[in-house]
Amino acid sequence: MTDAAFFDGIVKVLFVCVIVTSAYIITTKNLISLVRVYSLQSLVLFAIALALWWYTNEPVLLAIAILTLVFKVLLIPYFIASIQERIRIKRDIDFHFLSPTSSLLISLGLMIAIYITLSRILPGSVYNDTLFFFGAVIGISLVLMGMMVTFSRKRAITKVLGYLSMENGVLLFGIFATELPFIIEFLIVIDLVILILLTTILTVGIDSTLEEYHNRLHRFYLWEEMEESS
Amino acid sequence: MILAAFLICTAVASFLVAFSRTHGQMNAAAMGLAAVFLSLAVYILIFVPLPVNTFLVGNGFFFIDHLGLFEVMVATFLFFLATIYAKGYVGNLLESRELEEGSLKLFYIAWCLLELVIVLAFFADNLALFWIFAEMTTIISAMLVAILSAKENIDAALKYIFVASVAMIFAFVGFIFLFEITRSSLGTGSLNWTVLMAHASEFPPVMLTASFMLIFIGFAAKSGIFPFHTWLPEAHAKAPSAVSAVLSGVLLNVGIYGILRVFAIVHQTSAAAVIIPVLLVFGIFSMGIAAISMLPERNLKKLIAFSSIENMGFLLVGISVATPVAIFWVLYQVMAHAFTKASLFFSAGILHRQYRSDLSSDAPDNIHDVFRYQPLAAWGVILGGIAIIGMPPFMIFFSKFFILLELGSLSVFALAIILVLLFVASAALGYFVIRTFSQTTPDGEHVDLVPYRTPASMKAPIIFLVVIILVLGLMFPAGGDAFIAQIITELKF
């Protein structure tokens, strides 16, 4: 059953899926579908890890796959979606610096640049295996594309999704560039969970409804000043 | 085993905080914890032969060496003083209702946890473990910045989290590189400091350079190096002053510690030739940006925050010189900067309480008649300012002087630039102090200002720190010299 060509084909299809989802994350304005796409992207990663496990029989990969499924496909998107419902914000239309089209073009350029850089840096053992090399390139590209989302969007919740997408890139890179020990992937997931908990709580503070906000301003004696000046 | 003591004490202290009713009790619990941490660090210093790496049954996750212990000593000492200071400061925040009663427990529990994760970060043997603890310090300290729950604070905290965490992701990619390097040259991958240090000379330089650059991005953001410094002035200026002191005195050291450790590995290979100029350039740029931003700054806490960026840049320059003498004085400067900066933030906190130009910290401070209302804080800022710009006989003078001396033998051109930048920064600080502190109201006029009665718990740490930076500047104990020299041998410089 371990048909190398078949495995190769499957993983390549999955790579394309990863790129499509990340392009969608960069350009979309709809927050709800943003979370769903993130969940889908994690699902693709889960599939990639599973395929790799099936190919190499490394138990670590199965563990990583399960971890991805539980946290990134199910728990984290669910949590973010429930927060979104509470703060009632559906769309994030503010793009700093970059419009969707230009960010797509930039990410294309980034991928080419990363391809060239990595082909010089990575040792021959990885470089000569096309599939693994592509995995590493896509991983790093995902990191940079996620960073673009984090810095070009205004709402904290979109920034969080950018960060999550970056982390998916790290996972992809880790799987393909080396044999990452499970403990490391586990640590980074812990980090994600804590980070999301905190940022979303703070986001509720910022993005919450206007009424609550006025109360808070009032308490800090800022509101009177604003009324006077206006 | 001693690590378990740190963990258990934190658990007990958090428990006590959770079940105490008044602010005094919570502060007492936190202070007790800080005292225990400090005494544990002293205990390790005196009784435990270093380095210890067969910890928790030799799993390779934690170890204690001289560098880690050195950083922990500085951190726990500052935490102890900051907790004492917090007693008066947070008490006043409560009275003026800037801090809600409900947030108080959260504040102290986060405070205790922050202390724990910082200690664990310095004692971590595994890079990935160090990374996760460094991330935790970011997250918990961001919580402490946001605790006042005004919009500006939350904004500053979110900015801090995003800039630092995004950069730390790059550091993680760098670790994966490093892991791959060790796997291909040693057979089994490893991220342990001890293993990496032992085999550093066998690593291929090109990949090591790439790995260092990525890791540098992460830790540079943690320590406020240009161009990742953007979070620092806001977070430091908007945090409660007790937190600012810890942010500046302890948390920035976490980043510098990481850079120093990884640089010690890179230094053993030929990759150092590429890395050293990079460090020098980033250091000079940080100093330049900070010095220029300091000139027009009219907000005291922001001014001090920019001065932190400048000092971190200077530390980077010191690291880039990479001679044993320079590294010695870099470590000395880490300690000196931590103490001096904490005293400055403590003094600024008192002025902040008195003049209430609070929340909108972009606004200039409305400070006047400072010697009449808060003479101690005024002298704290003046003496701290003199110390931070590197006047003898305070501690920082010696570290700056000897690092510059070492740098001069390397490149006179860089030395000249740095001297100019140091001058600009000193001028900015002096200009601010003279302009602000000389504002007085004429005798006859009525001043509508209630004097803030500064509690002794806020005064004592300032006096103590100023005395310490003076005394240690005049005579540094011989044991201290030997201790730092030991670190340099361990880092193989």
Q: Transcribe A175-193 into DSSP letters.
A: HHHS---HHHHHHHHHHHH
Q: B128 and A156 in contact by Cβ < 8 A?
A: no
Residue A117 falls inside a structural domain: yes
Residue A200 falls inside a structural domain: no
Structure confidence by residue, pLDDT tens digits, A120-142: 877 666 666 777 788 888 888 88
Residue A229 falls inside a structural domain: no
**Model-level pTM?**
0.89
**Residue B124: strand pairing partners:** B62
A contact residues 54-113, partner B, Cβ 8 Å cutoff: none
Confidence of residue A227 (pLDDT cuts 50, 70, 90): very low
Q: A187 and B131 in contact by Cβ < 8 A?
A: yes
> Given its phi and psi angles, is residue B205 left (phi above 0), alpha (psi -120 to 50 degrees) or beta?
alpha
Residue A219 falls inside a structural domain: no
Structure confidence by residue, pLDDT tens digits, B240-281: 888 999 999 999 999 999 999 999 999 888 888 889 999 999
Q: A143 and B136 in contact by Cβ < 8 A?
A: no
Confidence of residue B401 (pLDDT cuts 50, 70, 90): very high
Q: Is there a contact between A27 and A103 (Cβ–Cβ < 8 Å)?
A: yes
What is residue A72's predicted lDDT score, i.e. its pLDDT?
82
Q: A173 and B173 in contact by Cβ < 8 A?
A: yes
Q: ipTM value, please give it.
A: 0.82
Residue A225 falls inside a structural domain: no
What is the CB-side half-sphere exposure of residue B276 using CA atoms within 13 A?
Answer: 17
> How many domains would you assign to chain A?
1
Q: A216 and B150 in contact by Cβ < 8 A?
A: yes
A190 lies in which domain range?
A: 4-90+97-195
pLDDT at A225 over 80: no
Structure confidence by residue, pLDDT tens digits, A81-124: 877 777 666 665 666 666 778 888 888 888 888 888 888 877 66
B386 lies in which domain range?
A: 2-441+450-490
**Residue B64: strand pairing partners:** B52
B contact residues 113-142, partner A, Cβ 8 Å cutoff: 128-129, 131-132, 135-136, 139, 142
Chain B residues inside the 8 Å CB shell of A195 = 135, 139, 161, 165
More reliable by pLDDT, B103 or B296: B296
> How many domains would you assign to chain B?
1
Chain B residues inside the 8 Å CB shell of A205 = 146, 149, 154
More reliable by pLDDT, B356 or B19: B19
Q: Is there a contact between B197 and B262 (Cβ–Cβ < 8 Å)?
A: no
Sign of CA dihedral B232, B234, B240, B245: positive
Phi (first) and psi of residue B52, to 5 degrees: -100, 120
d(C-alpha B460, C-alpha B440), whole Å? 27
Residue A137 falls inside a structural domain: yes
